[in-house]
A and B are shown apart, each in its own frame.
Chain A
Amino acid sequence: MTVLTIKPTAEDHRIAYMAALAIVLMLMEAALPSPIPGVKPGLANIVTLLVLQQYGLRAAAWVTGLRVVAGSILLGSFLTPGFILSLSGALASLAVLAIARYLPQRYFGMVSLSGLAAFAHIAAQLGAVSVWLMPGVNVFYLSPVFALAAWVFGLSNGLIAAYLVESESNASSAA
Chain B
Amino acid sequence: MLASSMALVGVLAIHFWLSPAGQKIMIKRGGEVFLTASLVRPFVVAVPGPLGVTQVEVSNHRARVMSDPSPRQLCVHQGWISHEGEAAICLPNQVSVEIIGAVRRYDSLNY
B 74-90 contacts with A by CB, 8 A: 74-75, 77-78, 86, 88-89
- The distance in angstroms between the C-alpha atoms of A119 and B88, with both chains bound, is 28
In contact, A151 and B78 (Cβ under 8 angstroms): no
Known A-B contacts A136-B75, A136-B89, A147-B8; A112 and B1 likewise in contact (beta carbons under 8 Å)? yes
A144 touches B6 (CB 8 A): no
Highest count of chain B CB atoms <10 Å: which of A111, A134, A148: A148
14 residue pairs A–B, Cβ–Cβ below 8 Å? A108-B1, A115-B1, A134-B74, A136-B78, A136-B91, A138-B78, A138-B86, A140-B16, A143-B16, A144-B16, A148-B9, A150-B5, A154-B5, A155-B2
Closest chain-B Cβ to A132's Cβ sits at a distance in Å of 13
Chain A count of residues within 8 A CB distance of the other chain: 21
CA separation between A134 and B2, bound complex, in Å? 31
| Interface mask (A71-99 → B, CB under 8 Å = 1, otherwise 0) | 00000000000000000000000000000
Do most interface residues of chain B lie in helix, strand or loop, or is the interface mixed? helix
A window 97-123: CB within 8 A of B: 107-108, 111-112, 115, 119
The A contact surface, by secondary structure, is helix
Shortest beta-carbon distance, A105 to chain B, in Å? Answer: 13
Interface membership of B106, Cβ < 8 A: no
Whether B33 is near chain A, meaning CB under 8 Å from some CB there, is: no
CA of A79 to CA of B89 in the docked complex: distance in angstroms? 29
| Chain B residues in 8 Å Cβ range of A140 | 16
Q: Using a CB–CB distance below 8 Å, which chain A residues touch chain B?
A: 107-108, 111-112, 115, 119, 134-138, 140-141, 143-144, 147-148, 150-151, 154-155
Query: Any chain A CB within 8 A of the CB of B111?
Result: no
Q: How far is the CB of B84 from chain A (nearest CB, A)?
A: 13
A111 CB → nearest B CB, Å: 7
User: In residues 8-24 of chain B, which contact A (Cβ within 8 Å)?
Assistant: 8-9, 12-13, 16-17
